[in-house]
Amino acid sequence: MRFMRSVSIIGAGCTRFGERWDDSLRDLVVETGIRAIEDANVSGEEIDGLYVGNMSGGRFVEQEHIGALISDCAGLSRLHVPSTRVEAACASGGLALRQAVLAVASGYSDVVIAAGVEKMTDVTGGVAADALAAAADREWECFFGATFPALYAMIARLHMHRFGTTREELAAVAVKNHHHGCMNPISQYRTEITVDKVLKSPLVADPLRVLDCSPITDGAAAVVLAPTDLARKFSDSPVRILAAAQASDTLALHDRRDMTTLDASVYAARKAFDQAGLEPKDIDLAEVHDAFTIGEIVAIEDLGFVEKGEGGRATQEGLTAIGGKIPVNTSGGLKACGHPVGATGIKQAYELVLQLRGEAGERQVEGAEIGLTHNVGGCGGTALVHIMSR
Partner 1 sequence: MSTVPRFWRHIPQRYNLVGTHCENCDEYYFPPRTICPNCRRDAKMKEYKFAGSGRVVTYTTIYNATDDFKRQTPYNLAIIELDEGPRLTGQVICSPGEIEIGMRVKPVFRILGKEGERGIIYYGTKFVPAEGPV
Closest CB to partner 1 among residues 185, 202: 202
- CA distance readout (Å), 12 to 37, 166, 350, 386: 8, 38, 6, 16
Tell me how far apart the alpha carbons of residues 70 and 25 are, in angstroms, rounded to a whole number. Answer: 9
For residue 133, state whether it binds partner 1 (rule: CB under 8 A).
yes
Tell me how far apart the alpha carbons of residues 15 and 31 are, in angstroms, rounded to a whole number. Answer: 6
Closest CB to partner 1 among residues 135, 385: 135
Tell me how far apart the alpha carbons of residues 247 and 260 are, in angstroms, rounded to a whole number. Answer: 17
Tell me how far apart the alpha carbons of residues 69 and 91 are, in angstroms, rounded to a whole number. Answer: 20
For residue 378, state whether it binds partner 1 (rule: CB under 8 A).
no
Closest CB to partner 1 among residues 108, 140: 140
Q: Which of 90, 142, 213, 337 is catalytic?
A: 90
Tell me how far apart the alpha carbons of residues 240 and 278 are, in angstroms, rounded to a whole number. Answer: 14
Closest separation in Å from C-beta 215 to partner 1: 13
Q: Cβ(345)–Cβ(116) under 8 Å?
A: yes
- CA distance readout (Å), 285 to 189, 199, 251: 21, 28, 29
For residue 254, state whether it binds partner 1 (rule: CB under 8 A).
yes
Q: Cβ(278)–Cβ(326) under 8 Å?
A: no
User: Would you say how long the chain is, in residues?
Assistant: 390
Torsion of CA 145, 148, 151, 156, to 10 degrees: -140
| 209: β partners | 203
For residue 108, state whether it binds partner 1 (rule: CB under 8 A).
no
Q: Is 337 a catalytic residue?
A: no
Closest separation in Å from C-beta 321 to partner 1: 28
Contact with partner 1 (CB under 8 A): which of 7, 69, 155, 337? 155
Closest CB to partner 1 among residues 6, 147: 147
Contact with partner 1 (CB under 8 A): which of 80, 145, 279, 367? 145
For residue 147, state whether it binds partner 1 (rule: CB under 8 A).
yes
What is the CB neighbour count within 10 angstroms for residue 232? 13
Q: Cβ(175)–Cβ(315) under 8 Å?
A: no
Question: Of the listed pieces 72-80, 91-99, 128-136, 375-383, which binds partner 1 according to CB under 8 A?
Answer: 128-136
Q: Is 254 a catalytic residue?
A: no
Q: Which of 339, 374, 379, 386 is catalytic?
A: 339
Closest CB to partner 1 among residues 157, 357: 157
Question: Of the listed pieces 29-37, 55-63, 79-87, 143-151, which binds partner 1 according to CB under 8 A?
Answer: 143-151
For residue 144, state whether it binds partner 1 (rule: CB under 8 A).
yes
For residue 258, state whether it binds partner 1 (rule: CB under 8 A).
no
Q: Cβ(238)–Cβ(349) under 8 Å?
A: no
End-to-end CA distance of the chain: 22
Backbone angles phi, psi at 284, to 5 degrees: -90, -30
Contact with partner 1 (CB under 8 A): which of 143, 185, 236, 362? 143
Contact with partner 1 (CB under 8 A): which of 36, 55, 120, 154? 154
For residue 356, state whether it binds partner 1 (rule: CB under 8 A).
no
Tell me how far apart the alpha carbons of residues 265 and 251 are, in angstroms, rounded to a whole number. Answer: 14
For residue 139, state whether it binds partner 1 (rule: CB under 8 A).
yes
For residue 91, state whether it binds partner 1 (rule: CB under 8 A).
no
Q: Rule CB under 8 A: which of 162-221 touch partner 1?
A: 202-208
Residues tagged active-site: 90, 339
Applying CB under 8 A, which residues contact partner 1? Answer: 126-127, 129-130, 133, 137, 139-147, 149-150, 153-155, 157-158, 161, 202-208, 252-255, 259
